[in-house]
Chains A and B, each alone.
Chain A
Protein backbone atom coordinates (compact mmCIF):
# COMPACT_ATOMS: atom_id res chain seq x y z
CA UNK A 1 0.00 0.00 0.00
CA UNK A 2 1.28 3.43 -0.97
CA UNK A 3 2.26 5.78 1.83
CA UNK A 4 3.27 9.43 1.65
CA UNK A 5 5.46 11.48 4.00
CA UNK A 6 6.06 15.22 3.84
CA UNK A 7 9.33 16.78 4.97
CA UNK A 8 10.84 20.24 5.03
CA UNK A 9 11.42 23.34 7.17
CA UNK A 10 8.68 24.31 9.57
CA UNK A 11 9.60 27.99 9.50
CA UNK A 12 10.22 30.17 6.46
CA UNK A 13 10.97 33.89 6.39
CA UNK A 14 8.75 36.26 4.39
CA UNK A 15 9.79 36.72 0.74
CA UNK A 16 11.79 33.49 0.79
CA UNK A 17 10.99 30.16 -0.92
CA UNK A 18 9.04 27.41 0.78
CA UNK A 19 10.38 23.97 -0.18
CA UNK A 20 8.72 20.71 0.80
CA UNK A 21 9.30 17.13 -0.30
CA UNK A 22 6.90 14.21 -0.36
CA UNK A 23 8.47 10.75 -0.20
CA UNK A 24 6.42 7.94 -1.73
CA UNK A 25 6.79 4.44 -0.31
CA UNK A 26 5.07 1.20 -1.22
CA UNK A 27 4.92 2.04 -4.91
CA UNK A 28 6.75 3.78 -7.72
CA UNK A 29 6.05 7.44 -8.38
CA UNK A 30 6.55 6.90 -12.12
CA UNK A 31 4.28 3.91 -12.57
CA UNK A 32 0.56 4.04 -13.05
CA UNK A 33 -1.75 6.93 -13.81
CA UNK A 34 -1.29 9.00 -10.68
CA UNK A 35 -1.61 12.70 -9.96
CA UNK A 36 0.85 13.50 -7.19
CA UNK A 37 -0.63 16.55 -5.52
CA UNK A 38 -0.18 19.25 -2.92
CA UNK A 39 -3.01 20.62 -0.79
CA UNK A 40 -2.79 23.12 2.04
CA UNK A 41 -4.91 24.14 5.00
CA UNK A 42 -4.38 27.44 6.85
CA UNK A 43 -4.84 27.10 10.62
CA UNK A 44 -8.53 26.75 11.45
CA UNK A 45 -9.58 27.01 7.81
CA UNK A 46 -10.53 24.81 4.89
CA UNK A 47 -8.61 22.88 2.26
CA UNK A 48 -7.02 24.55 -0.77
CA UNK A 49 -5.81 22.57 -3.77
CA UNK A 50 -2.37 23.73 -4.91
CA UNK A 51 -1.36 21.57 -7.87
CA UNK A 52 -0.01 18.29 -9.16
CA UNK A 53 2.67 16.55 -11.11
CA UNK A 54 1.40 13.68 -13.23
CA UNK A 55 3.38 10.44 -13.33
CA UNK A 56 4.45 11.40 -16.86
CA UNK A 57 5.87 14.71 -15.67
CA UNK A 58 3.07 17.08 -16.70
CA UNK A 59 2.18 19.64 -14.05
CA UNK A 60 -0.73 21.87 -13.09
CA UNK A 61 -0.96 24.68 -10.54
CA UNK A 62 -4.06 26.44 -9.30
CA UNK A 63 -4.36 29.83 -11.06
CA UNK A 64 -4.10 31.90 -7.87
CA UNK A 65 -0.65 30.43 -7.10
CA UNK A 66 0.57 29.54 -10.59
CA UNK A 67 3.19 32.29 -10.86
CA UNK A 68 4.86 31.18 -7.60
CA UNK A 69 4.62 27.39 -7.81
CA UNK A 70 6.94 24.68 -9.09
CA UNK A 71 6.23 20.98 -8.58
CA UNK A 72 9.23 18.85 -9.62
CA UNK A 73 9.65 15.10 -9.36
CA UNK A 74 12.74 13.00 -8.61
CA UNK A 75 12.07 9.46 -9.78
CA UNK A 76 15.43 8.19 -8.51
CA UNK A 77 14.39 9.10 -4.96
CA UNK A 78 10.68 8.35 -5.47
CA UNK A 79 9.87 11.88 -4.36
CA UNK A 80 8.03 14.93 -5.56
CA UNK A 81 8.36 18.43 -4.22
CA UNK A 82 6.67 21.78 -3.81
CA UNK A 83 8.46 25.08 -4.23
CA UNK A 84 6.51 28.24 -3.43
CA UNK A 85 8.35 31.51 -3.94
CA UNK A 86 7.90 34.94 -2.35
CA UNK A 87 5.98 33.63 0.64
CA UNK A 88 4.02 35.79 3.05
CA UNK A 89 2.09 35.15 6.26
CA UNK A 90 -0.88 34.16 4.10
CA UNK A 91 1.05 31.04 3.06
CA UNK A 92 1.19 29.77 6.66
CA UNK A 93 -0.61 26.43 6.56
CA UNK A 94 -0.45 22.70 7.02
CA UNK A 95 0.74 21.31 3.70
CA UNK A 96 -0.40 17.86 2.64
CA UNK A 97 0.82 15.72 -0.22
CA UNK A 98 -1.74 13.34 -1.67
CA UNK A 99 -2.35 10.91 -4.52
CA UNK A 100 -5.20 10.77 -6.98
CA UNK A 101 -5.44 7.99 -9.52
CA UNK A 102 -7.81 7.36 -12.38
CA UNK A 103 -11.30 5.94 -12.33
CA UNK A 104 -12.06 4.02 -15.52
CA UNK A 105 -15.39 2.71 -16.72
CA UNK A 106 -16.26 1.29 -20.13
CA UNK A 107 -12.94 2.43 -21.51
CA UNK A 108 -13.35 6.01 -20.33
CA UNK A 109 -11.00 7.21 -17.60
CA UNK A 110 -11.27 10.28 -15.38
CA UNK A 111 -9.15 11.71 -12.59
CA UNK A 112 -10.11 10.35 -9.17
CA UNK A 113 -10.33 11.92 -5.71
CA UNK A 114 -7.46 11.68 -3.23
CA UNK A 115 -7.28 8.23 -1.68
CA UNK A 116 -3.82 8.46 -0.07
CA UNK A 117 -2.59 11.40 2.01
CA UNK A 118 0.52 12.27 3.92
CA UNK A 119 0.13 13.27 7.57
CA UNK A 120 0.71 16.94 6.77
CA UNK A 121 3.40 19.36 7.87
CA UNK A 122 2.91 22.82 9.35
CA UNK A 123 4.84 25.60 7.67
CA UNK A 124 4.86 28.97 9.39
CA UNK A 125 5.94 32.09 7.51
CA UNK A 126 7.42 34.53 9.99
CA UNK A 127 10.53 36.60 10.47
Chain B
Protein backbone atom coordinates (compact mmCIF):
# COMPACT_ATOMS: atom_id res chain seq x y z
CA UNK B 1 0.00 0.00 0.00
CA UNK B 2 1.00 3.62 -0.58
CA UNK B 3 2.58 5.47 2.34
CA UNK B 4 2.53 9.25 2.69
CA UNK B 5 5.05 11.30 4.67
CA UNK B 6 4.32 14.91 5.53
CA UNK B 7 6.83 17.53 6.56
CA UNK B 8 7.13 19.28 8.83
CA UNK B 9 5.12 17.62 11.59
CA UNK B 10 4.65 20.96 13.32
CA UNK B 11 4.95 24.43 11.87
CA UNK B 12 5.00 27.66 13.88
CA UNK B 13 3.89 30.72 11.92
CA UNK B 14 2.35 34.15 12.27
CA UNK B 15 -0.71 35.71 10.69
CA UNK B 16 0.21 36.87 7.21
CA UNK B 17 2.99 34.32 6.72
CA UNK B 18 3.28 32.18 3.62
CA UNK B 19 3.17 28.53 4.68
CA UNK B 20 4.14 25.43 2.73
CA UNK B 21 3.53 21.80 3.70
CA UNK B 22 5.06 18.91 1.77
CA UNK B 23 3.65 15.44 1.22
CA UNK B 24 5.81 12.68 -0.23
CA UNK B 25 4.40 9.39 -1.48
CA UNK B 26 6.11 6.01 -1.42
CA UNK B 27 5.24 5.53 -5.09
CA UNK B 28 4.11 7.66 -8.00
CA UNK B 29 0.58 8.98 -7.75
CA UNK B 30 -1.46 9.74 -10.84
CA UNK B 31 -2.44 13.09 -9.35
CA UNK B 32 -4.99 11.56 -6.99
CA UNK B 33 -3.91 13.61 -3.99
CA UNK B 34 -6.13 15.58 -1.62
CA UNK B 35 -5.59 17.94 1.30
CA UNK B 36 -7.78 18.30 4.37
CA UNK B 37 -7.93 20.76 7.25
CA UNK B 38 -8.94 19.51 10.69
CA UNK B 39 -9.69 21.59 13.75
CA UNK B 40 -9.85 20.13 17.29
CA UNK B 41 -12.98 18.10 17.93
CA UNK B 42 -14.12 18.37 14.32
CA UNK B 43 -14.13 16.14 11.27
CA UNK B 44 -11.60 16.87 8.53
CA UNK B 45 -12.69 19.28 5.82
CA UNK B 46 -11.70 18.73 2.18
CA UNK B 47 -9.68 21.63 0.82
CA UNK B 48 -8.06 20.44 -2.39
CA UNK B 49 -8.40 17.41 -4.65
CA UNK B 50 -6.68 16.21 -7.79
CA UNK B 51 -3.52 17.77 -6.39
CA UNK B 52 -4.49 21.38 -7.16
CA UNK B 53 -8.27 21.78 -7.53
CA UNK B 54 -9.91 23.84 -4.80
CA UNK B 55 -13.07 22.40 -3.29
CA UNK B 56 -16.06 24.73 -3.59
CA UNK B 57 -16.02 27.41 -0.93
CA UNK B 58 -12.32 27.08 -0.03
CA UNK B 59 -10.53 30.45 0.06
CA UNK B 60 -8.13 31.17 -2.77
CA UNK B 61 -5.22 31.66 -0.36
CA UNK B 62 -5.01 27.86 -0.34
CA UNK B 63 -3.29 26.21 -3.28
CA UNK B 64 -1.90 22.81 -4.11
CA UNK B 65 0.75 21.69 -6.52
CA UNK B 66 3.00 18.78 -7.35
CA UNK B 67 3.16 15.56 -9.26
CA UNK B 68 4.66 12.13 -9.10
CA UNK B 69 5.69 11.52 -5.52
CA UNK B 70 5.93 15.09 -4.16
CA UNK B 71 3.06 17.46 -3.50
CA UNK B 72 2.71 20.73 -1.61
CA UNK B 73 -0.03 22.69 0.10
CA UNK B 74 0.57 26.43 0.29
CA UNK B 75 -1.31 29.03 2.28
CA UNK B 76 -0.34 32.36 0.74
CA UNK B 77 -1.18 34.56 3.73
CA UNK B 78 -2.00 32.72 6.93
CA UNK B 79 -5.23 33.84 8.60
CA UNK B 80 -6.35 33.26 12.23
CA UNK B 81 -8.86 30.66 11.06
CA UNK B 82 -6.08 28.62 9.40
CA UNK B 83 -4.39 27.43 12.59
CA UNK B 84 -5.25 23.75 12.42
CA UNK B 85 -3.86 20.36 11.43
CA UNK B 86 -3.52 19.54 7.75
CA UNK B 87 -3.51 16.07 6.20
CA UNK B 88 -2.65 14.91 2.74
CA UNK B 89 -4.45 11.85 1.40
CA UNK B 90 -3.83 9.66 -1.61
CA UNK B 91 -6.80 8.10 -3.34
CA UNK B 92 -4.90 6.48 -6.18
CA UNK B 93 -5.04 3.07 -4.50
CA UNK B 94 -7.87 3.00 -1.98
CA UNK B 95 -7.20 5.77 0.54
CA UNK B 96 -4.39 6.55 2.97
CA UNK B 97 -3.51 9.66 4.94
CA UNK B 98 -0.30 11.37 5.82
CA UNK B 99 0.51 11.73 9.51
CA UNK B 100 -0.55 15.37 9.64
CA UNK B 101 1.05 18.79 10.01
CA UNK B 102 -0.01 21.01 12.86
CA UNK B 103 0.12 24.73 12.06
CA UNK B 104 0.41 26.61 15.33
CA UNK B 105 0.71 30.23 16.33
CA UNK B 106 4.28 31.48 16.58
Residue positions of A touching B, CB distance < 8 A: 37, 46-49, 60, 62-63, 96, 98, 100, 103, 110-115, 117-120
Size class of the B contact interface (CB-based, 8 Å): 20 to 34
Inter-chain CA distance A103–B94, complex, in Å, is 14
Chain B residues near A (Cβ < 8 Å): 1, 32, 34, 36, 38, 42-46, 49-50, 55, 87, 89, 91, 94-100
CB contact between B46 and one of A60, A103, A111, A115 (< 8 Å): that residue: A115
Q: Can you show 26 pairs from A to B with CB atoms below 8 A apart?
A: A46-B97, A46-B99, A47-B87, A47-B97, A49-B95, A49-B97, A63-B1, A98-B43, A103-B49, A103-B50, A110-B32, A110-B91, A111-B94, A111-B95, A112-B49, A112-B91, A113-B36, A113-B91, A113-B95, A114-B36, A114-B44, A114-B89, A117-B43, A118-B43, A119-B43, A120-B43
- 7 new A-B contacts at CB < 8 Å, known A113-B36, A113-B46: A46-B87, A47-B38, A47-B100, A62-B94, A100-B95, A111-B91, A117-B43
A residues less than 8 Å from B50 (CB atoms): 103
The A contact surface, by secondary structure, is: strand
The distance in angstroms between the C-alpha atoms of A48 and B87, with both chains bound, is: 11
Report chain B residues within 8 Å CB of A47: 38, 44, 87, 89, 97, 100
- CB contacts (< 8 Å) of A111 on chain B: these are 32, 91, 94-95
Out of B1, B44, B96, name the residue touching A117 (CB < 8 Å).
B44
B34 lies within 8 A of A113 (CB): yes
User: A105 to nearest B CB, angstroms?
Assistant: 9
Chain B residues contacting A112 (CB-CB under 8 Å) are 49, 91
Complex: chain B residue closest to A114, CB-CB: B46
Give the residues in chain A near B98, CB-CB below 8 Å.
46
Inter-chain CA distance A49–B95, complex, in Å, is: 7
For the complex, what is the distance from the CA of A119 to the CA of B44, rounded to whole Å? 9
Known contacts A113-B34, A115-B55; is-contact A100 B91 (Cβ 8 Å): yes
CB < 8 Å neighbour of A49 from B38, B43, B96: B96
Q: How far apart are the CA atoms of A13 and B1 in the complex, in Å?
A: 31
* Bound complex: CA A47 to CA B100 (Å): 8
Q: How far is the CB of B37 from chain A (nearest CB, A)?
A: 12
Residues on B with beta carbons closer than 8 Å to the beta carbon of A100: 91, 95
